[in-house]
Chain A
Amino acid sequence: MSRNPLIREVPPTTWFFRHPRYVRYMAREVTSLFVGAYCVLLVVAMQRLSAGPAAWQGFLDALRGPAGIVFHLLAMAAAFYHAGTWFNATQKAMPLQIGEEFVNGSYISGAHYLVWAVLSVAVLFFTGVF
């Protein structure tokens, strides 16, 4: 009997609508754009800083405008979500075996969240927020 298999193509651009878990995945990937955009903003900030006090002040004023605030809120939400997906993944990527048992994954992810919180507080402290 000869074979005549049927090949079913995957739609190259709309495939992620096929299942909610793919949409969740794309949401995670899209949040990285905000993280990238924020990095660009930091580069612009440095450029403004080197251009003198007036340029720097103008930049700060722009950030305080409604668009600046909306962008920051969006970028922060996206960064939180993105970072969360990373920290949740650490327990899969770095399992810890002690003797015959594996350490419960939530401790591994939890430790990452803890370090994140401590570093964030330290940064806020050294930048004089409190």
Chain B
Amino acid sequence: MKERLVQLEVLRYNPDTDTEAHFQRYEVMCQEEWVVLDALNKVKESIDPTLNYRWSCHMAVCGSCGMMINGEPKLSCHAFLRSYEGVIRVEPLTHFPVERDLVTAPDDFMEKLKRVKPYVITKQKKPIEEGEYKQTPAQLMKFRQYSMCINCMLCYAACPEYGLTPHFVGPAALTLAHRYNLDSRDEGRKERMEVVATREGVWECTFVGACSEVCPAHVDPASALQQLKIVGSIDWIVEHLLPGGKSAGDTVSRKNAGDIP
């Protein structure tokens, strides 16, 4: 098997001693077909056991190994060494606080995910004896693509709006809101739109499109957000311009936006 000497420049930050982050250079012998995560593992095993980073599945499904690789948000288990030349610069996901080295704090994303209520909401629970909630293949296809999100947060690292306005609910969470809104079993659209159709919801998005370019699961969050803008606008027209539409207070209230049952 072909081997190759790989040079990595890794951002280091130790919360106990550092006030700033700095780059550290490592050189490791790697197999030609390895990914960046393999190279980091080799560094940790053979050179520097203090290096910190997250990973679990090594197969692009758990979403925990996101990092900036040469300035691009990537899953490090999906970033092949052969696609890079020269020194590979590895940094923690941008726009998130750095806990230690390549480990970032996902708390803000988690909180936003909860706010959009990413689960099926029904007004009345069906008794189990009545059987399952059925769905046709066409009904499934309506939202299937948006259910492929692995919560890797690469889209948040790519989104300049999120970087500049951290209160933006952001691509993945809004996309999941759309996914459940489109689900034929769901009745929670109105609750979700209280979070979605707001300034810090979908209207913060200016359609840079970076989220869709970096998404490793081909979710295309940008498309979900543009669709949500249309849905939100139609809701607004129905409420404000059509006779008999509900009062504005009904849907712009943010009172219970943070609740989860």
Instruction: Give the chain B neighbours of A15 by CB distance below 8 A.
Output: 160, 163-164
| CB–CB A5/B220 < 8 A | no
B15 contact from A5, A18, A89, A102, Cβ within 8 A = A5
Q: How large is the interface on A (under 10, 10 to 19, 20 to 34, 35 or more residues)?
A: 20 to 34
CB-CB nearest in chain B for A85: B207
Instruction: Give the chain B neighbours of A22 by CB distance below 8 A.
Output: 160, 208, 210
Instruction: Give the chain A neighbours of B206 by CB distance below 8 A.
Output: 25, 29
For the complex formed, measure the closest distance between the CB of A87 and the CB atoms of chain B, giving whole angstroms. 13
A54 at the binding interface (Cβ < 8 Å): no
For the complex formed, measure the closest distance between the CB of A119 and the CB atoms of chain B, giving whole angstroms. 22
* Sample (21) of A-B pairs whose CB atoms are under 8 Å apart: A4-B15, A5-B97, A5-B105, A6-B13, A6-B20, A6-B98, A8-B21, A8-B98, A10-B163, A12-B164, A15-B163, A18-B71, A21-B210, A25-B210, A89-B207, A89-B226, A92-B220, A93-B226, A93-B229, A95-B223, A97-B142
What 8 additional pairs, Cβ within 8 angstroms, besides A4-B16, A16-B160? A3-B15, A6-B18, A8-B94, A21-B208, A89-B226, A93-B227, A94-B230, A97-B141
Residues of B within 8 A of A (CB): 13, 15-16, 18, 20-21, 71-72, 94-95, 97-99, 105, 137-138, 141-142, 160, 163-164, 206-210, 213, 220, 222-223, 226-227, 229-230
Residues of A within 8 A of B (CB): 3-8, 10, 12, 15-16, 18-19, 21-22, 25, 29, 89, 92-95, 97, 99-102
